[in-house]
Structure formats: C-alpha cells, structure tokens
Amino acid sequence: MAIFTGSGVAIVTPFLENGEVDYESFRGLIEFHIANGTDSIIVCGTTGESSTLTHEEHIECIRFCAEVVAKRVPVIAGTGSNCTETAIYLSQEAEKAGVDGLLIVTPYYNKATQKGLINHYTAIANSVSLPIILYNVPSRTGVNILPETAVYLAKNVDNIVGIKEATGNISQVAKLMSLADGCLDLYSGNDDQVVPILSLGGKGVISVIANIAPKQTHDLVAKYLEGDVKGSMELQLKSIELCDALFCEVNPIPVKKAVELMGLCGGKLRMPLSEMEPANAERLEKAMRDFGLEF
C-alpha cells in the first residue's frame, strides 16, 4: 500500500525575523493544508530549506510537524544527506518522532556511483523500519538514480517502496516504470509534469505549488485517478504559468515570497538564499492572481 496517494506538499519552513524557526506560523501552515485537502505533508525537504537547518532544528521541525498533524494525514520526513551516517541519524530520529515515511535525496556533491547509491540507500533503509521514498533530482545533486538502480533497490530492500522523480525526463520515467512492474510507487517531483507522471502509473505529486494552491493540486490528482483525465489536464495546463513563476528563481525563493503574499507566514529565507528580485516578484504576483489565488 502506498504511503500516500494524491498531493503531498513539500512544506516551507517559516522563520522569524531573527532567523529562528517560527513554530506558531508552522502550526498555522499545517492546519491550512489539512483544511484544504492536502493528502500528505513532506517536512524538511528542499523547499523546507533543510540544508540550512541545524541537526537539532531539523529533528525538532520533524517532531513538531508529526505532533501537530497527529496522524490526520501521513507525514513524510526529508532525512537525506551526502553523509550516509548523518542520513541514518536523521532517519532514526524521524522514526522516533512518529512520522509515516522518509524521503531521502541522493547524496549531493559527492556524486556517488550507482554502486555507491545502492550501498548508501541500503544502509539507511536497514537502520529503520519506515517506508522510504527515493528522491531523484539530478539538477540539484549532480547524480541520477538510473532506472535499473531504483528497481534493484525496490526489489532487494523491503522498505524502499517509492521514488520522487524530478529528472524532467519522461522517457527515463517510462523506462523505470516498465522495469519496475509495480514494485515502486511513483510520485512526480515537478509540478508541471503531474499528469504525464500519473499517466505512467504515478500515485501523485510531491509539490511546491501546493504550498499556495493545496485544493487545486489535490483536485488535479484526484480528478485523474477518478477517471476525469480531461479535467485533470485542464488544471495542469492552467497551472503552467504559475509553475514557471514559482521556479523563475531557485526554489524555495519564489514560494517563500508567495506564502508571504498570501499572509500564510513570513517570507524570510536563510542565507545563502536571498530576497526575490523585484521584477520576478511582480511576475509571481501576476501569475498568482491569474491562477485565481486571492490575497
């Protein structure tokens, strides 16, 4: 059984002006998503600025999210690292916090070989009992999980059950699903490719746009899975301008601006991320209004 089906939000981590985690706003964000149909919350992913959290903050954000959600929807914790031992530590702490699954990105900067990826993921999976979703995003990490490698892991490691595919390469995803023959749950890692991924057997999306359009993102997936492919496609095409605006600067700079514009939380970023350029912020605001978001 899949960890979740539908729209999983890669939730932002709100910060106070002094740079500390804003837990009051974080609680509000979580409640906003549950009230608006988000099917799963992915905490401390790339969009959550996990790379600038201390280990203590990382674990506390995961614990806080799991506590506030209180099993109303699945919580999936981002616990990847380019250090295998660190990933094991974060994964074990997330399991203690009561999350429902883990999202583990490929080791960045090290650029592990496919053998190295197998060893890395196997070691992490063997250290916990939680189900694991692999996260393949070569544009950020410099390494690509080949279809053969992902399928090998799924078939040889019991708790590796899914993959978030953000390569943008639909041909690779098609090959992956052909080889997998049902052994891996597939999630889109790109908001502009949800329908294509669903058409190849995907279970849903781990989404950035869901931070500001949770109901619409939920509906996009639900319509497809209910057989309303045309309705799903229309929502996908309607979202393209907004998707483009949300990625006109490196994620999560634009989405942090977007949640601030909507009054959901402050838009403060941690360095080395910087404030959005004014022209891009205007573009984002227009795309949000054109999409029908009210703020």
Contacts of 230 (CB under 8 A, 6+ apart): none
Q: Report the candidate in 171, 162, 228, 172 with the shortest Cα–Cα distance to residue 195.
A: 228
Bridge-based pairing of strands 185-188 and 40-43 is unpaired
**What CA–CA distances, in Å, run from 259 to 96, 192, 241?**
30, 19, 17
Contacts of 193 (CB under 8 A, 6+ apart): 168, 170
Distance CA 294, CA 147 (A): 41
Which residue among the candidates 89, 121, 135, 187 is catalytic per the annotation? Answer: 135
Which residue among the candidates 89, 121, 152, 164 is catalytic per the annotation? Answer: 164
Distance CA 195, CA 191 (A): 9
Q: Is 223 one of the annotated active-site residues of the chain?
A: no
Q: Report the candidate in 168, 208, 171, 164 with the shortest Cα–Cα distance to residue 186.
A: 164
Distance CA 114, CA 215 (A): 38
Q: Report the candidate in 152, 86, 194 with the shortest Cα–Cα distance to residue 134.
A: 152
Q: Is 164 one of the annotated active-site residues of the chain?
A: yes
Beta bridge partners of 71: none
SS3 sequence, 137-173? CHHHHCCCCCHHHHHHHHHHCCCEEEEEECCCCHHHH
**What residues are annotated to the active site?**
135, 164
